[in-house]
Amino acid sequence: MLSIVELVFEGSMSHRDRTSLMRAIALTWETAHQHGEAWISHHRLRYRMFVERQKWNVPSYRQLEYDQFDTPAATYILVVDDHNRALGTTRLIPTTRPYMVETLWPDLVETALPHLPSIWEASRFGCDRDLGPDNRRQVIAHLIQSCEEFGLLNGIKRYLGVMPAWIFTQVIGAHGCPVTFLRPRPALSGHKIEAAYIDVSLSILDKVRRHTGLNEALIKLNSSPDAAIPPVPDEEDCPRRTTNTFGPAAQTSHP
């Protein structure tokens, strides 16, 4: 099982009496019960971020945002406070399962679409805007570093990110992660959605840690505090599917 390392920061998390204890967790349908409010809280946070603030036309119910890709195949990298309330979120889905870009937006990718255990889709990336600027930066740092660590622990070589284009360059790239857009790089205006590869490696994790200042592992293997992140073996360039297996679909979701 995956475990977490708790990191303590001084000061108030926000005006809503949030405490200053922040930690990263990797949560699935099978492990959601182990983390109290984290599971349901992250759906509430997604509702605030994507429905209330960004006005996305996505499914919701009783102020909980969800879509058809919230399945048992998904893993959620969450940053939570000491009451297990979500402060930040990213959803990861192996491309061996139905995923958003392939099903809804194959036109975001000019190459063949991946269908490999070493490539996972990353979406629903964001943090609670009610936090102060310093705490938002800490949440984003935890998310990016935790995704790199989770990737190394699970044989992932790259993420297929789908999100507003500016997040790739101004947030993820700025933390030391190489980003490769999958069609000609767009003008970074508004919230134009793009797809890009985000590489995973020990050297990239080292760059991210230097940027964040978080030198301890946030996500560890088998609940052991001494477990090291293993290197990922090299493999041949990955073949990709050239057709949309799931056929045309209406746009019913957002990143």
Residues 96 and 114: their CA atoms lie apart, in Å, by: 8
Mean pLDDT of the chain: 80
Q: Give me the mean pLDDT over the 72-79 stretch.
A: 96
Q: Give per-residue pLDDT as tens, 31-67.
A: 999 999 999 999 999 999 888 888 878 888 999 999 9
Q: Name the DSSP letter for residue 171.
A: I
218-229: average pLDDT: 52
- Report helix, strand or coil for 244: coil
Assess contact for 145 and 201: CB atoms under 8 A.
no
Averaged pLDDT, 159-165: 92
Calpha distance 53→59 (Å, rounded): 15
Instruction: Note the pLDDT tens digit of each residue in 163-212.
Output: 888 899 999 999 999 999 998 755 444 457 899 999 999 999 999 999 99
Residue 233: pLDDT over 70: no
Global pTM reads 0.79
pLDDT at 20: 61
Q: Is 21 left (phi over 0), alpha (psi -120 to 50) or beta?
A: beta
pLDDT for the residue 191? 58
Percent of the chain topping pLDDT 70: 75
